[in-house]
Amino acid sequence: MKTTFSGGAMPTVTQSSPCALSISLGSQVQTVAFPVPIAGSQRKVRLARKSSYIEIVVPVALPALGNPDGMNINPFTVVRAGSTVAAPTMHRLHLDRLPPLDTNNPWLECWLNTHVSSQFSLRESKMKRGELPADTLAQVKDTIYSMMLRSVGHLGNPVRRVFALRDNTSNDSDTIFFVKDLRYDLCSHTAVCDAFVLPLFPELMETLTPWFGPLINSDISNSRLHDAESRAWKQLLPALVERCRTWTHGTNCEYVVKGRIPLSLEVNGGDPLCSCGRGKNVEGMREVELWRPFAPFVTRIALSPLFAVPYLEPGKYCKKCGKVGKGILKSCGGCKEVFYCSKECQKADWASHKIDCAGRRA
């Protein structure tokens, strides 16, 4: 390999996963792993043929700045090394050791609403209000927000504990969640749903059909998803399983046999999860009579808010349109605390900003 490199051979660099690049030189392939999602298309490769080393400089994937690369591949990475499977981007939880939250406490809904809302960054909050076009991650967060609040009866509405993800185009549902409890994550001081997921596919539906009638009549809460969000949920599910599993993957695990995680990304394309955890540690399902027939077919998951991190978005952006970039933003002449990319944006936003502007100057 050293002879090949010193002879002038050019290495081929490709992004193989959200956090990794593959370097190919001749017949040799080396994987370089990074601790965060990266923008592989903006990599810089430096070669030193005499001393025989290859250096790669690559920026962090920042969707807000238009370089999402790694986040587009899969923002919820699950890695496999031999028989070991893990979700490196999510901390591990032992659900049975976490204290349940008292959903009858009248203060819980107020706290939960504020807490789960804090998962949205400033840019994503504008998306949620319809002020900016929503991206896929913001849509996933909004669905999680809806599920968690409905599970405690948000705004006086009936409590919902069964949720179906529906394709917005076909109206088909291929994923159902059963939320047994809300628990308190002592490590991260957040709420987590102790839940079970039931991916639906034709072979399984033949078995479950007799029990679906009563379940449908129990007021399932539906969340409508577009294609990109449906795909993201199938990428997220393996991570939600791995972070709380108490069982071991078998020698015939579908992740190993098929060589990919998740197994499927398409609506009605089959189970995205391996069968190793199906029907294991599901005592919570058997405690609810209506859910009991589904217990052998579900997998336990830990679903919690996906909090924003500060490095993902710049601190300055146009208050009206959300545009970012060096040299294009100018601060408000009054408060000096908000920014605009043009006079047109500042003028269009003045009606809503002028009261806040006066308050900041006071």
HEC string for the chain: CHHHHHCCCCCEEEEEECCEEEEEECCEEEEEECCCCECHHHCEEEEECCCCEEEEECCECEHHHCECHHHHHCCCCCEEECCEEECCCCCCCCHHHCCECCCCCCCHHHHHHHHHHCCCCHHHHHHHCCCCCCCHHHHHHHHHHHHHHHCCCHHHCCCCCEEEEEECCCCCEEEEEEEEEEEEECCCCEEEEEEEEEECCHHHHHHHHHHHHHHHCCCCEEEEECHHHHHHHHHHHHHHHHCCCCCCCCCCCHHHHHCCCCCCCCCCCCCCCCCCCCCCCCHHHHCCCCCHHHHHHCEEEEECCCCCCHHHCCCCCECCCCCCCCCCCEECCCCCCCEECCHHHHHHHHHHHHHHHHHHHC
pLDDT at 63: 64
Are 271 and 260 spatial neighbours (Cβ–Cβ below 8 Å)?
Answer: no
129 backbone φψ class: left, alpha, beta (φ>0; ψ -120 to 50): alpha
Burial of 193 (0-12, 13-18, 19+ CB in 10 A): buried
The token duo for 351 is 């009606």
pLDDT at 287: 93
Q: How far is CA 42 from CA 37, 57, 327, in A?
A: 13, 9, 21
Q: How far apart are CA 4 and CA 10, in angstroms?
A: 9
pLDDT at 5: 62
Are 288 and 98 spatial neighbours (Cβ–Cβ below 8 Å)?
Answer: no
The contacts of residue 357 (CB under 8 Å, 6+ apart) are 332, 334, 335, 338
Residues in the chain: 362
In the predicted model, residues of the chain with pLDDT beneath 50 are none
Neighbours of 99 (CB within 10 A): 10
Are 146 and 162 spatial neighbours (Cβ–Cβ below 8 Å)?
Answer: no
Burial of 160 (0-12, 13-18, 19+ CB in 10 A): buried
pLDDT at 294: 93
- Best CA proximity match to 261, nearest among 133, 84, 137: 84
Q: How far apart are CA 47 and CA 1, in angstroms?
A: 14
pLDDT at 310: 66
What is the per-residue pLDDT across 11-66, written as a single tens digit (0 to 9) for each?
Answer: 888 887 778 888 887 778 888 888 777 888 888 888 877 777 788 888 887 765 55
Q: Strands across the sheet with 28-33, in order?
A: 12-17, 20-25, 28-33
Are 192 and 182 spatial neighbours (Cβ–Cβ below 8 Å)?
Answer: yes
pLDDT at 304: 95
What is the per-residue pLDDT across 166-181, written as a single tens digit (0 to 9) for each?
Answer: 988 888 888 999 999 9
